[in-house]
Structure 1
Amino acid sequence: MMNIQVEKTALVLIDLQNGILGHHCAPYTAKEIVERAKTLIEAFTAKGGFVVLVRVSSLDGKDMLQPITDAPAVQATGYPEGWDQIVPELAELPGTYTLTKRQWGAFHGTDLDVQLRRRGIDTIVLGGVSTGIGVDMTAREAFQLGYNQFFAEDVMGAADKEMHDYVRANIFPRIGRVRSSADIISYL
């Protein structure tokens, strides 16, 4: 059986916030993702593990990336009050660290790498929304920084099942291990 050393592992959950989980998620619903995320958080914190809740936010959109692209960028301003807040079911859980990012990945421009390295963490368990955007970018950044990774596949969702399935089957196995949240909990 595989073991995860909790003292060297962080649970990092991407964009489980009001304004993002309000959109369609596939192949799992937002409710399923949040319920499994809560179970993972509780399992990690019960063992003294480090949990990071990552949210994307902006004061006025000027601090976010704005490259010229073929696909229209998501508007960075004009969101309703509270759109960038972690969903209440997770925000209320004790023992979590909330990190704000300004782009897709959770490492670039944040203190995530410093927070992990100062704690002696060399492995992350990753989940969140969207599988093919924020989670994928964070996973690629973590890979380039030398972190071992587990992907909690059933604690992720994308705008459509095809995007989720593509990243899960073609990207994540090349940079880490894809497992269910139940399997990950059994490894703790």
Structure 2
Amino acid sequence: MSELSEDYADAGFGRPLDWGTSPAVLVIDMVRAYFQPGAELYLGSRACLDSAARIVTTARGAGVPVIVTRVAYAADGADGGLFYRKVGALRHFAAGAPGGLGEVMPEVAPQPGDVVVTKQYASAFFGTSLAATLASRRIDTLVLCGVSTSGCVRATAVDAISSGYVPIVVREAVGDRDPRPHEANLFDLAAKYAEVWSEADVVRHLTRA
């Protein structure tokens, strides 16, 4: 254990949260904008997409609900508020924007029976029907895949634990545009807000769900 990890553990951070009895997989914003070379938001890798696709396939095979989020704005971005003004690249998700960058990648695209949540802000909970959907299905554990680790994944994990759901972030199935914010946020999420598990461990739990 590193000196930093020891310091956090000594302060009481990072106590484990148990996997519940009723999980769902949440795929956050895995759209073309992040995986198309040359796009403004391009991550530079598709490794997290490939991992998320394996998680989704496992979940569907085990009968575990899959929820997919996407971002969409009015043509003028009026429904994006200050967030839309702060992050200029969000214009690619406005109605009528060229390039189809808001399309969910085919590897994780929703299938019949999946739930699609359209959002305008970082958290998949904020201003959406997600909490009501989870409550109605008595979900208690939320497996998080998606992008970006420091943005929408983090915001969703914080809102999940605040709303009483156990957030399980799949290490290989989340990504960011740089390893520094990616690793820093995984460390902080594991310390305070979520469990950060390997893909292999998540697959094992999904197949037992």
What is the TM-score with the length of structure 2 in the denominator?
Answer: 0.78
Name the residue aligned to 2:25.
11
Please give the secondary structure, in 1, of the residue aligned with 2:154: helix
Matched, 1:85 2:129: no
Contact 1:38 1:89 in 2 (8 A): yes
Structure number, greater radius of gyration: 2
Structure 1 residues 138 and 20, CA, compared in 2 at 3 Å: closer, same or farther? Answer: same
Number of aligned positions between the proteins = 182
Output aligned runs, 1:4-153, within 5 Å.
Answer: 4=19, 8-22=22-36, 23-25=41-43, 29-30=45-46, 32-60=47-75, 61-66=77-82, 73-76=88-91, 77=94, 79-91=97-109, 93-153=111-171
- Give the superposed CA RMSD: 2.3
Query: How far apart in 1 are the matches of 2:62 and 2:169?
Result: 19
Structure 1, gaps ≥5 residues long:
none
Name the residue aligned to 2:12.
none
Structure 1 position 107, deviation (Å): 0.3
Query: How far apart in 2 are the matches of 1:133 and 1:19?
Result: 15
Please give the secondary structure, in 2, of the residue aligned with 1:99: strand
Structure number with higher relative contact order (C-alpha < 8 Å, ≥ 6 residues apart): 1
Identity across the alignment (%) = 27
Contact 2:34 2:43 in 1 (8 A): no
The structure 1 segments of at least 4 consecutive aligned residues displaced by more than 6 Å after TM superposition are none
Structure 1 residues 109 and 48, CA, compared in 2 at 3 Å: closer, same or farther? Answer: same
The code of the aligned residue for 1:41 comes to V
Query: How far apart in 2 are the matches of 1:117 and 1:49?
Result: 15
What is the TM-score with the length of structure 1 in the denominator?
Answer: 0.86
The code of the aligned residue for 2:102 comes to D
